[in-house]
Structure 1
């Protein structure tokens, strides 16, 4: 039986001419596939195998590299709207008529755009470490965060600074996470993300965060049920934006995980997977 650490990477060509690298795990009769949208600079290998395995019990889970990311061809665009359009191209290329979405960080921005532009495609949505477009205070990240995860050569120390709290429990969970992400897959690794991808994605983050309160009204167009979640000490996208989303979305549940930062969904992977599975109706 395959796990996320052993499942092979596949490729599909979309109508836009892009060859998308993806991994598909699990199956589930009658349940829409769960498509995952990755964080800033992340590729297929940066998903926590323990989380993916837990989500794939009785459900098909699909991870992929969007345009220009990792092993996917093309050039990474510099707006969230373009990333959403590319993600839709990928989903269409797989022949999927209805999906659930789980967007993490930058991926949560993309998930919102997909739901707004192709509402017929989306069943339910999970937004992890998320913020709405135009909210005040997210026009770029804190200096310590961008220094930790935004340099040419990201380091494990910078990753841990953003993804787990600096508590004994948080740091221990972070070391265990690094072991799962970098130690469990022994072959078939994804291509690393490039400097062009990092720059384009950060440009997209900056554009998303230009203060414009009128854009918050767009969230009224997301009619699907949404589960919003975050860690209580996220330095990249603080949990106040989860509460803002919860106040603006028509049909929403919210949960803030204790002693957790940006990578709460990996740190609390068992609890988060159980919460997501319950929300999706498994």
Structure 2
């Protein structure tokens, strides 16, 4: 189970010591998880990871300067993609499927563009294409919760879940799973690293219609997924992303927000594994 996996570390060619956790079926194609803004190893829903790990070798890690990893925090999605590649090379993972969530979806797109032969299939969850309208930074209300010094339950519920009784109840269930790991938890992101990551988010969202044309070069199979009531990334953006990719399918999950994959983890896992097969 993901909550029981030890924190591991590996030193890469760039001198950075990357923290990671790995679980699932050894010998199956690796599935690499790329996290959201201010996410760490502990930010992934254990129920989601465990369900994916039934069929796959699942790898989660902290980028340079984040959580338990050493080094300097990346300030652009392009640098995050290069950083991800260095980590995977250290693990001798040369070809993998990638699940990029939110900011991690920016990184996944850059990875597919800059190192296409390293990627087999892409899952882009609650994310947007570079330069899309309406994604230049987070809305003020979302940012107030996302940048809170000490994230509380209400910050998670507001940002990640739809403001309905059913979705909020799912959010509370997620929080229960989130705190299940009591020992050897990852290190929260400090303010300086948080600011650097937000630079990457803002830089990605600078309006640029021409940047959308880059997506035509991603000919990998892609599954674009999101919540129908996402406050962080406008749901219309999921269809824009899917339409700009040559080989994509799009699914929007009902009564859910930015954390749709935690709320609907069972259905999302079924959809992801079917797609990866």
Q: 2:111 aligns with which of 111, 114, 118?
A: 114
Alignment of 1:184-195 (within 5 A): 184-195=180-191
* Alpha-carbon distance, 1:144 to partner: 0.4
Matched, 1:43 2:40: yes
Matched, 1:95 2:92: yes
How many angstroms apart in 2 are the aligned matches of 1:98 and 1:57?
20
Tell me which residue corresponds to 1:130: 127
* Alpha-carbon distance, 1:136 to partner: 1.4
Q: 2:71 aligns with which of 66, 71, 74?
A: 74
Q: 1:148 aligns with which of 145, 156, 163?
A: 145
Matched, 1:236 2:232: yes
How many angstroms apart in 2 are the aligned matches of 1:219 and 1:13?
32
Matched, 1:9 2:36: no
Confirm or deny: 8 A CA contact 2:134 2:234 kept in the other structure: no
* Alpha-carbon distance, 1:19 to partner: 0.4
Is the partner of 1:256 in helix, strand or coil?
Answer: strand
Confirm or deny: 8 A CA contact 1:22 1:64 kept in the other structure: yes
How many angstroms apart in 1 are the aligned matches of 2:149 and 2:109?
28
Tell me which residue corresponds to 2:18: 20
TM-score by length of 2: 0.98
Matched, 1:59 2:47: no
How many angstroms apart in 2 are the aligned matches of 1:170 and 1:151?
22
How far does the alpha carbon of each residue in 1:103-125 deviate from its partner, in whole angstroms, 9 at most, with x for none?
00000000000010000000000
Matched, 1:218 2:214: yes
Is the partner of 2:207 in helix, strand or coil?
Answer: coil
TM-score by length of 1: 0.97
Is the partner of 2:2 in helix, strand or coil?
Answer: coil
How many angstroms apart in 2 are the aligned matches of 1:28 and 1:248?
35
How many angstroms apart in 2 are the aligned matches of 1:79 and 1:156?
29
Is the partner of 1:277 in helix, strand or coil?
Answer: helix
Confirm or deny: 8 A CA contact 1:39 1:106 kept in the other structure: yes
How many angstroms apart in 2 are the aligned matches of 1:16 and 1:28?
27
Confirm or deny: 8 A CA contact 1:102 1:127 kept in the other structure: yes
Is the partner of 2:55 in helix, strand or coil?
Answer: coil
Matched, 1:206 2:202: yes
How many angstroms apart in 2 are the aligned matches of 1:135 and 1:238?
10
How many angstroms apart in 2 are the aligned matches of 1:165 and 1:258?
9
* Alpha-carbon distance, 1:28 to partner: 4.8
Aligned length: 277
Matched, 1:245 2:238: no
Is the partner of 1:5 in helix, strand or coil?
Answer: helix
How many angstroms apart in 1 are the aligned matches of 2:152 and 2:242?
33
Matched, 1:172 2:169: yes
How many angstroms apart in 1 are the aligned matches of 2:130 and 2:60?
24
| Structure 1 gaps, min length 5 | none
How many angstroms apart in 1 are the aligned matches of 2:56 and 2:126?
23
CA RMSD of aligned residues (A): 0.9
How many angstroms apart in 1 are the aligned matches of 2:262 and 2:253?
11
* Alpha-carbon distance, 1:238 to partner: 1.4
